[in-house]
Structure formats: structure tokens, C-alpha cells
């Protein structure tokens, strides 16, 4: 196949490019690099099956030649990014999705949207299944990301119903791994950066907030299975191992051998930031035969090793 990955220089997008190339496909990656990085795809320079296009997909997308699949992963994804780029986040969710769908329709390509667990907002049910409509504040600071993804899902389903397009939607829960930005504001790079520097890990409040952390390779495998499937309905992809932030901090310190310990500070919460999040992944298990394979401790060891290397090379 020849596939197009928007956001192809981002954390997840670049891993997807690697997987498609490893499987023998040709890849076109599009990115405007506001949150992605050329460093994530530098190892692909000279690969004749890989092409990078510097472009903002909120503008019309033109790609010559056949395209068999379009995977739309372009978007700021961390709170620090979408609060810095609120308009761009809304535009890539709305205009970017529209343009990527238009390209897929013109090429007769299958389309896959990277959606998010944020469509559930601050959930009132636990765990969250795909039929839960969510608890989202459209005018709160997080609404620029939550509503962009909710609109994107609605647009994908409208193209599926109106134009009979072959579409897929993956709802991604907390994912971590190499190529995350140290400064992206999320808990994994924050903790690992502090641990590698030998600092105390900053835990807000009592640390009883919970998350389920999924290693990026498991997400990529699930995405590949979903793309090959006939499943049109949204699919949650994430791990169901729920840990609180204090436990997670202690795990990072143990694996990194960080003597810095933990520093508790007053809770700093963006309005709408969920206290708990856990996917119901029974649809993925049943329809895709997928379950996460990488244990948290193993994935963290790989991620810590990556960040040690990156930080050692940074002046």
C-alpha cells in the first residue's frame, strides 16, 4: 500500500510511519511541525519508501499519485500544547479532518481518525465504553481539544453515511513511549525528566488521581488491526491497568533508580481535567483480537532509556 499519515512527525504518527515501512508499505508523512519534530523521522532520511511533506492540513491537501489509506493523526495532543494553540487545535480537528477526508474520498482510500479518550470529558461513568456520550464542557479551556475531536468523529461518520466512505475511528487513551517531548507537560515526560535529573518527582494533591498508561507499540498494533478490520464504530484502545499518580511516580523512581524521592505540591487542575480515566476495551478484544502486551514496568524502562539518551545529547 501507499499510505498517508498526517501528523507523521509527531510522537504517535512517527511510530506509525515506522510500522508501515517495516511491513513493506510506502509512506507519505505530512506535518507542519508545530508540535511534531523532524528528529522523530530523521532515521528515515534516505528511505526511498518514505516521503515527508511540510504542510498544514488545515489547508487543502494535494498529493500526487495513488493513496490507499489516510490516517489522520495531526493535532496538538497535550494540554500545554492545545492551550498554547487553541485555534490551531480547533482548525486541525475541523478543517484538517475535512481536508483529509476529502483527499481520501478523491483517492478512494480507507480513512482512519485518531480520536481520543478526551471525547468522554470528565467522565461520570467508570470505566468508559464507546457508547458513553461523555461529560464535556464546550466552553472550558479543554473544550478546544475535546470538541475538536468530537466534531471530527461526527464528520467522519457523516462522510461514512453520506458518501459510503470506508472509515475507522480509534479513541486513544493515555499513551507513552520514546519520542514524547520532554516539555509537553504530560505526566510521563515530566516524571521521567525529573527522575533522570535526580530531582524529586512533583505530585499534585494527594496523588490519588488515576490513569491507565499504554505503551506506544501496543497502540500501533491496535491501529493496524483496526485499519484492516471492517469495524466502523469507534474503538477504545488503551490498557485497563489503572494506577494512581503516586504509585506511578514511585514506579518511575524505582525503575530509574532516582534518589530524589517525591515532592507533594498543591493540586493544579485545569477545569475539566478528569480525576479518573479507564477504558472499557471489550470491543477491541472482541472485534480485533487485541490486548496490550507491554507491561508498564517494561515500557517505562524503554522510555527512560530513550530519555536518558536524548538528555545526554542535549547541551
Residues with catalytic roles? 145
Task: Give dist(CA 191, CA 310) in Å, integer.
Answer: 15
Quickly count: other Cβ atoms within 10 Å of residue 205's Cβ.
Answer: 15
Q: Which residue from 72, 105, 119 is spatially nearest to 227, judged by alpha carbons?
A: 72
In 3D, which of 66, 63, 71 has the Cα closest to residue 7? 71
Taking the C-alpha atoms of residue 195 and residue 304, their distance in angstroms, rounded to an integer, is: 9
- Distance separating alpha carbons of residues 102 and 59, to the nearest angstrom: 12
Amino acid at each position: 500500500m501507499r499510505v498517508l499519515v498526517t501528523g507523521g512527525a509527531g510522537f504517535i504518527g512517527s511510530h506509525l510511519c515506522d510500522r508501515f515501512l517495516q511491513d513493506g508499505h510506502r509512506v507519505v508523512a505530512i506535518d507542519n511541525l508545530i508540535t511534531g519534530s523532524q528528529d522523530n523521522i530523521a532515521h528515515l532520511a534516505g528511505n526511498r519508501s518514505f516521503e515527508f511533506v511540510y504542510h498544514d492540513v488545515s489547508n487543502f491537501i494535494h498529493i500526487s499519485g495513488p493513496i490507499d489509506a489516510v490516517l489522520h493523526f495531526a493535532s496538538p495532543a497535550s494540554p500545554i500544547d492545545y492551550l498554547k494553540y487553541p485555534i490551531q487545535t480547533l482548525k486541525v480537528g475541523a478543517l484538517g479532518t475535512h481536508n483529509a477526508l476529502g483527499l481520501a474520498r478523491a483517492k478512494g482510500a480507507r480513512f482512519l481518525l485518531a480520536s481520543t479518550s478526551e471525547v468522554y470529558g470528565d467522565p461520570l461513568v467508570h470505566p468508559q465504553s464507546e457508547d458513553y456520550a461523555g461529560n464535556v464542557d464546550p466552553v472550558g479551556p479543554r473544550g478546544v481539544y475535546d470538541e475538536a475531536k468530537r466534531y471530527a468523529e461526527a464528520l467522519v461518520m457523516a462522510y461514512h453515511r453520506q458518501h459510503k466512505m470506508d472509515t475507522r475511528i480509534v479513541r486513544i487513551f493515555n499513551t507513552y513511549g520514546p519520542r514524547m517531548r520532554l516539555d509537553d507537560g504530560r505526566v510521563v515526560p515530566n516524571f521521567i525528566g525529573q527522575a533522570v535529573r535526580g530531582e524529586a518527582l512533583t505530585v499534585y494533591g494527594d496523588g490519588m488521581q488515576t490513569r491507565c498508561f499504554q505503551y506506544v507499540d501496543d497502540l500501533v498494533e491496535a491501529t493496524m488491526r483496526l485499519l484492516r478490520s471492517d469495524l466502523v464504530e469507534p474503538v477504545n484502545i488503551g490498557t485497563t491497568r489503572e494506577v494512581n499518580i503516586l504509585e506511578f511516580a514511585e514506579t518511575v523512581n524505582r525503575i530509574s533508580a532516582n534518589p530524589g524521592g517525591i515532592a507533594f505540591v498543591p493540586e493544579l487542575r485545569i477545569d475539566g481535567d478528569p480525576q479518573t480515566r479507564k477504558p472499557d476495551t471489550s470491543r477491541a478484544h472482541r472485534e480485533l483480537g487485541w490486548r496490550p502486551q507491554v507491561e508498564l514496568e517494561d515500557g517505562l524502562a524503554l522510555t527512560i532509556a530513550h530519555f536518558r539518551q536524548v538528555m545526554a545529547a542535549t547541551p
